[in-house]
Chains A and B, each alone.
With several copies, the nearest count.
Chain A
Amino acid sequence: MNLINQMKLSMDAMTLGEKFTGSIIVTLLGVGIVFAALIVLFFTIVAMEKIIVKPKPKKEVEPKPVNVIEEEEEEVIEDTELVAVITAAIASSLNTSTHNLIVRNITRVEDTTPSWAKAGRINQITNN
Chain B
Amino acid sequence: MLDIISQFLQTTGFLNMTGGQFLMIIVSCVLFYLAIVKKFEPLLLVPIGFGMLLANLPGSGIMDEGGLIYYIYNAGIKTGIFPPLIFLGVGAMTDFGPLIANPKSLFLGAAAQAGIFFTFIGASLTGFSAAEAASIGIIGGADGPTAIFLTSQLAPELLGPIAVAAYSYMALVPIIQPPIMKFLTTKEERLIKMEQLRPVSKTEKVIFPIVVTILVSLIVPSATGLVGMLMLGNLFKESGVTERLSKTAQNELMNIVTILLGVSVGATASADQFLKLQTLKIIGLGIVAFGVGTACGVLLAKLMNKLTNKPINPLIGSAGVSAVPMAARVSQTVGQKENPNNFLLMHAMGPNVAGVIGSAVSAGILLTLFG
Contacts and interface: CB of A to CB of B under 8 A. Distances in A.
A, B bound: yes
Interface stretch (B59-67, B75-83, B175-183, B187-195): B175-183
A82 B8 contact: no
Given A48-B204, A60-B203, A23 B125 contact: yes
A75 to B, nearest CB: 6
B280 A109 contact: no
Interface string A25-40: 1111111111111111
Interface residues of A, number: 78
Interface in B322-361: 323-326, 329-330, 333, 349, 354, 357-358, 361
Contacts of A32: 5
A103 B175 CA distance: 16
A41 B280 CA distance: 35
Contacts of A19: 124-125
A1 B175 contact: no
B171 interface: yes
Interface string A68-90: 00001011101101110111111
Contacts of A67: none
Contact of A7 (B8, B124, B171, B198): B124
Interface in B1-19: 1, 3-5, 7-8, 19
B216 to A, nearest CB: 6
A66 interface: no
Nearest to B99: A45
A13 interface: no
B34 A120 contact: no
Interface of A: 1, 4, 7-8, 10-11, 16, 19-20, 22-42, 44-46, 48-49, 52-53, 60-62, 72, 74-76, 78-79, 81-83, 85-90, 92-94, 101, 103, 105-106, 109, 111, 113-114, 116-126, 128
27 contacts: A4-B4, A11-B124, A19-B125, A22-B124, A23-B120, A25-B1, A27-B121, A30-B113, A31-B110, A38-B106, A38-B107, A38-B357, A40-B219, A41-B106, A41-B212, A45-B99, A52-B207, A53-B198, A61-B203, A62-B37, A79-B168, A86-B279, A101-B280, A113-B175, A123-B244, A124-B325, A128-B93
